[in-house]
Amino acid sequence: MTSSSEQPDLRVYPDLETLSRALAEAIATLARQVTAKNGRFTLALAGGNTPVTLYEILARDYRETMPWGQTHLFWGDDRFVPHDDPSSNYRMARKHLLQHVPIVFENVHPMPTYFADPREAAADYEATLKEYFTNDWPCFDLALQGMGDNGHTASIFPGSPALTEKHRWVMAVETEAEPPLRLTVTLPVLNNSRAVYFLVSGADKGPALRLALREATDPQVCPAAGVRPAHGQVVWWVDQAAVDASA
Ligand code: 6PG
């Protein structure tokens, strides 16, 4: 969320296809700028269904114009299921994006959902982030986030302990969604990103969008409203249906 003195940065497109095309161009542009400056681009991917169109466009139209060789991929959350499970966010990204682009395998960091204990998996992913971000708080160049119709983002749901967590970077959480057990980065990690792009489509997201864009909204009620990076940009990439339903 932008500071209280500014209006949210809201980019509205007629439908999911035009929205996804515009977002793909913005991500590729940012990736080229960041890579030119830092030599790498760290991107945390979103799960769920909405990003499928975006990932397919990135795979089809940005194979050569996105710096895949310098892009390092992480996940903001995943369902605690095997990576070949139909509900896995990693599986979805691999199917629609990763297997179609020249990404460097070592630079892809899926959440380790193969542990028996999800808490060990969360600790393992936190160790991966600590190793990659040299023990400082993770600072994604871009965190791509979706939002549920109840305002959740990543797997930070209303009332989640991940909202008030101040020390852990990754948590295992029991959610109201299906499948319920998830791994998620905590809110401070998202709020340490250099940029957060929310991708929101559909009338069903309208009420949550209205809450998320309102400065006074309690993140306990609408976690997406709690994404206010102190030194980062938040851009809301939304379609007209979501905006109309948020009025
Ligand atoms: C997940 C996502 C989650 C998602 C929202 C919206 O694991 O489900 O990370 O935060 O972005 O639930 O999902 P849809 O795009 O399917 O509406």
193-245, pLDDT tens digit by residue? 999 999 999 999 999 999 999 989 999 999 999 999 999 999 999 999 999 99
For residue 77, the ligand 1 atom closest to its alpha carbon is 9
Residue entry with tokens 């990404």: 103
**CA atoms of 95 and 45, how far apart (whole Å):** 14
DSSP per-residue letters across 51-108: HHHHHHHHHHH-TTTS-GGGEEEEESEEESS-TTSTT-HHHHHHHHTGGGS---GGGB
Q: 134: which residues sit within 8 A by CB, 6+ positions away?
A: none
State residue 25's pLDDT score: 98
- Distance between Cα 36 and ligand 1 center (Å): 31
- Distance between Cα 46 and ligand 1 center (Å): 7
Ligand 1 neighbourhood includes 49 CB (under 6 angstroms): yes
Hey, what amino acid is at 168?
A: R
- In the structure, what pLDDT confidence band is assigned to residue 1 with cuts at 50, 70 and 90? very low
Ligand 1 neighbourhood includes 126 CB (under 6 angstroms): no
Ligand 1 neighbourhood includes 77 CB (under 6 angstroms): yes
- Distance between Cα 155 and ligand 1 center (Å): 8
pLDDT tens track for 184-201? 999 999 999 999 999 999
Alpha carbon of residue 211 to chain centroid: 19
Q: 9: which residues sit within 8 A by CB, 6+ positions away?
A: 2, 233, 234, 235, 236
- Residue 46 in tokens: 């979103």
pLDDT tens track for 136-158? 889 999 999 999 999 999 999 99
Residue 6: enclosing H or E segment and its boundaries?
Answer: none
State residue 5's pLDDT score: 55
What is the longest distance spanned by two Cα atoms in the chain? 47
Choose one of 155, 185, 198 to mutate for the ligand 1 pocket test, by most ligand atoms within 8 angstroms of C-beta.
Answer: 155
Q: 131: which residues sit within 8 A by CB, 6+ positions away?
A: none
pTM to 2 decimal places:
0.96
Q: Which residues pair with 181 in a beta bridge?
A: 174
Query: Average pLDDT for residues 73-100, to the nearest whole number?
Result: 98
Ligand 1 neighbourhood includes 88 CB (under 6 angstroms): no
Under a CB-based contact definition with an 8 Å cutoff, are residues 156 and 186 in contact?
yes
**CA atoms of 43 and 116, how far apart (whole Å):** 27
Q: What is the DSSP letter of 156?
A: B
Secondary structure (3-state) at 239: strand
**CA atoms of 7 and 29, how far apart (whole Å):** 23
End-to-end CA distance of the chain: 18
**CA atoms of 216 and 196, how far apart (whole Å):** 19
Ligand 1 neighbourhood includes 153 CB (under 6 angstroms): yes
Task: Please tell me the number of Cα atoms within 13 Å of 13 on its side-chain side.
Answer: 15
pLDDT tens track for 32-59? 999 999 999 999 999 999 999 999 999 9
Secondary structure (3-state) at 123: helix
- Distance between Cα 140 and ligand 1 center (Å): 19
Q: 224: which residues sit within 8 A by CB, 6+ positions away?
A: 145, 147, 151, 152, 153, 198, 208, 212
The CA-based angle 114-119-121, given to 5 degrees, is 30
State residue 4's pLDDT score: 47
Choose one of 45, 74, 77 to mutate for the ligand 1 pocket test, by most ligand atoms within 8 angstroms of C-beta.
Answer: 77
- Distance between Cα 150 and ligand 1 center (Å): 11
